[in-house]
Structure 1
């Protein structure tokens, strides 16, 4: 199980990432763009992925662990991860993809796996 503290540590490890409030959640941003949010009460993170990355990460073994946000937000790549159902390494890979999706090219290129 991934704790909120572990999620924060992973999300803030990316260069220039910062945590700011976003309504009743914590958001993780790069250059004012949100790449992830954390809902501690529901132990759920929501990440901004590309359409391709969303389809890949949604293949995770337990279909209730990773899934697109319902409605238009999901069609824009927003994907939910239940922290008590995913492994840390898997979540870190997803966070890296989300960070690279919204970060400026000069920052994303430091992490991009391609």
Structure 2
């Protein structure tokens, strides 16, 4: 289990990350691009992964890490249950999401 404070510390530990409001949620951004969001009073976060990374992490346990249940999920947006995820797994997920958003796009 990971608490919200630990999640925020991990998300903000990457270079250039800022926490900003995003509708009713907090978003964590690098280069003005969102890689994670968190709604207040929720133990679930949402991260931006590639479709391949999403399938790899979801294969671990779909009750803990699972795609958003709509078109956003098909684009890699993935939910993570903080009450069940291990801290080391969360750090890997956040690192992957951050790297995917912060790295230059390949042509």
TM bracket (short chain): over 0.9
> How many residues end up aligned between the 2 structures?
104
What are the equivalent positions in structure 2 for 1:78-97 lying under 5 Å apart?
78-97=77-96
1:29-81 Cα shifts (integer Å, max 9, x gaps) = 001100000123121110000111000000123x2111000111001100000
TM-score normalised by the chain length of structure 1: 0.87
Residue 23 (structure 2) aligns with: 23
SS of structure 2 residue aligned to 1:58: helix
2:54 aligned partner = 54
- Unpaired runs of 5+ in structure 1? 106-114
Separation in 2 of the partners of 1:59 and 1:39?
A: 25
Aligned partners of 2:4, 2:26: CA distance in 1, in Å? 10
Q: Name the residue aligned to 2:32.
A: 32
User: Residue 44 of structure 2 aligns with which residue?
Assistant: 44
For residue 85 of structure 1, report the CA deviation from its aligned partner. Answer: 0.7
Asked if 1:69 is matched to 2:68, the reply is yes
Q: Provide the alpha-carbon RMSD of the alignment.
A: 1.0
Three-state SS of the structure 1 residue aligned to 2:84 is coil
Q: Secondary structure at the match of 2:59?
A: coil
- Kindly report structure 1 stretches of 4+ aligned residues shifted beyond 4 Å: none
Q: Which residue of 1 aligns with 2:11?
A: 11
Which structure 2 residue ranges, 5 or more long, are not aligned?
none
Preserved CA contact (<8 Å) 1:4 1:40? no
